Amino acid sequence: MSVGLAAPVLAEPGPPAPQPEVSIPPRRPWAQRIGRVLAAVLKVALLAGFIAPFLWMLSTSLQTSAESSSFPITLIPEVPQFGNYVEAMTSGPFLTYFRNSVIVTVSILVIQLALMIPAAYAFAVYDFRFKNILFGMVLLAFMIPGQVTFIPVYLMMAEWGLIQTLLPQIIPAMTNAFGVFLLRQYFMQIPREIIEAARLDNASEWRIMLRIMVPMSIPALATVVLFSFVSHWNDYFWPLVMTDSAAVRPLPIGIAMLRESEGISQWNIIMAGNVVLVVPILIVYFFAAKHIIRAFAYSGIK
């Protein structure tokens, strides 16, 4: 459920593409106007389609229990029930869940960046033996679904006595094969002359990587970070499998516990929990989106 909720956030249309009207041969103005109106209608319809579930979640989170389960559905709550948020957040150790989510996700992102950037740089810039085989192995890692590995990984973590800690949620996610792949492609587009010039200026390889390559790859990095953040922040199954106690569990499991195991679910409370879950994603999205746009505008790469 939580993964689904992230979709409208990700899928929100970006800034409208500049209209290449100038180069188009002159058309009759009415045809042009109709075309523009149609495009606008299409965009609004698309936007509405993607944003509606989000607004519905927000609205449901402020409804009374009766409103949230009534037919036809209530669009706007009569009296906003902010108490739903209090109820959702006091039904369990939510502060602990939230703290765990932050620690796990931030650790994963930091470690992933630290491992992914040098790996991608090496694959993009150097030639070495077995390079293609090694890169093939990275791609292979990116194709294996988590469900296949969770039993051996669990046994390994149990053997090391880590089940009652946050580490089983962090360690298996330290590497990001998709990120290595994407970043390598991006690094490869950067003209070799820039690297050669830096080398002539006696810049160290680390310096070239961190001061030249990374700033020029912000769009790719922002994309990778955003995807990685959303998937780890929303992850339910892996933490559920890897943890046995509330003390080390993240937010999505706390939200799942709001759902009724049998009988009638309190959708208003569940949605309040989901809003809390989604807000950090929105914050990171807005932050990343700004960088993606800026990076495209100033990077000088076409």
Partner 1 sequence: MKTQRLLRAGIGIAAVTSLTLLAGCSGGDDSAADSNSGVAPEGETTTIQFWHSMSGTNGESIDAVVESFNASQDEVEVVATFQGSYPETLTKLQQSIPAGTGPDISMIERAFVPLLAEAKVLADLNPFLESSDMSEDSFVEGLMGNITFDGELNAIPFNRSSPMLHVNKTALDELGLEVPTTWEETEAVANALVVKNGNETSRYGLTMNYESWWPISLIVQQGGSFFNEDGTAIGFDEEGVEAFEFIKRMQDSGALYYPPTTDSGNVVGQMFLGGQVAMVVNSSGSIGGYLQNATFDYQTAFLPEGERAAAPTGGANLVMLADSDKQDPAWAFLEWLINDPEGGQRFIKDTGYVPFTPAIAESEEFVELFEAEPQRKVAYDQLANSIDTNNSPHFAEIDQEFLKTIQAIMYDDADIETSLDAFIERANAILAD
The identity of residue 204, as a single letter, is S
Under the binding rule (CB under 8 A), the answer on residue 34 touching partner 1 is no
Residue 113 CA to its chain's centroid (Å): 14
For the bound state, the minimum distance from the C-beta of residue 145 to partner 1, rounded and expressed in Å, comes to: 9
Measured from the CB atom, is 146 or 215 closer to partner 1? 146
User: How many angstroms separate the first and last alpha carbons of the chain?
Assistant: 38
Verify binding: residue 212, partner 1, rule CB under 8 A: no
188 binding partner 1? (CB under 8 A): no
Q: CA Rg, the chain, in Å?
A: 24
Could you say whether residue 203 binds partner 1 (CB under 8 A)?
A: no
Cβ proximity to partner 1, 8 vs 273, nearer residue: 273
Under the binding rule (CB under 8 A), the answer on residue 167 touching partner 1 is no
Sign of the dihedral through C-alpha 200, 201, 204, 209? negative
Cα–Cα distances in angstroms (integers) from residue 213 to residues 138, 220, 234, 239, 274, in the given order:
21, 11, 30, 34, 38
Q: Binding of partner 1 at residue 66 (CB under 8 A)?
A: yes
Of the residues 38, 41, 70, 137, which one makes contact with partner 1 according to CB under 8 A: 70
- Cβ proximity to partner 1, 259 vs 290, nearer residue: 259
Q: Does 64 bind partner 1 (CB under 8 A)?
A: no
39 binding partner 1? (CB under 8 A): no
Shortest separation between residue 52's beta carbon and partner 1, angstroms:
19
Is 231 one of the binding residues for partner 1 (CB under 8 A)? no
Q: Is 75 in the site for partner 1 (CB under 8 A)?
A: no
Contact criterion met (CB below 8 Å) for 239 and 249? yes
Residues 232 to 291: which contact partner 1 by CB under 8 A?
A: 237, 240-241, 244-246, 253, 256-266
Residue number with CB closer to partner 1 (228 or 266): 266
User: Would you state the structure tokens that stand for residue 286, as one six-digit string?
Assistant: 């807005």
Q: Please tell me whether residue 103 binds partner 1 under the rule CB under 8 A.
A: no
Of 102 and 257, nearer to partner 1 (C-beta) is 257
The answer to whether the CB of 299 falls within 8 A of the CB of 218 is yes
Q: Which of residues 125-164 bind partner 1 (CB under 8 A)?
A: 147, 150-151, 154-155, 158-159, 163
| Least distance between partner 1 and beta carbon 165 (Å) | 12
Q: Is 189 in the site for partner 1 (CB under 8 A)?
A: no
Q: Is 3 in the site for partner 1 (CB under 8 A)?
A: no
| 18/72 with CB nearer partner 1 | 72
Provide the binding-site residues for partner 1, judged by CB under 8 A. Answer: 66, 69-71, 91, 147, 150-151, 154-155, 158-159, 163, 237, 240-241, 244-246, 253, 256-266
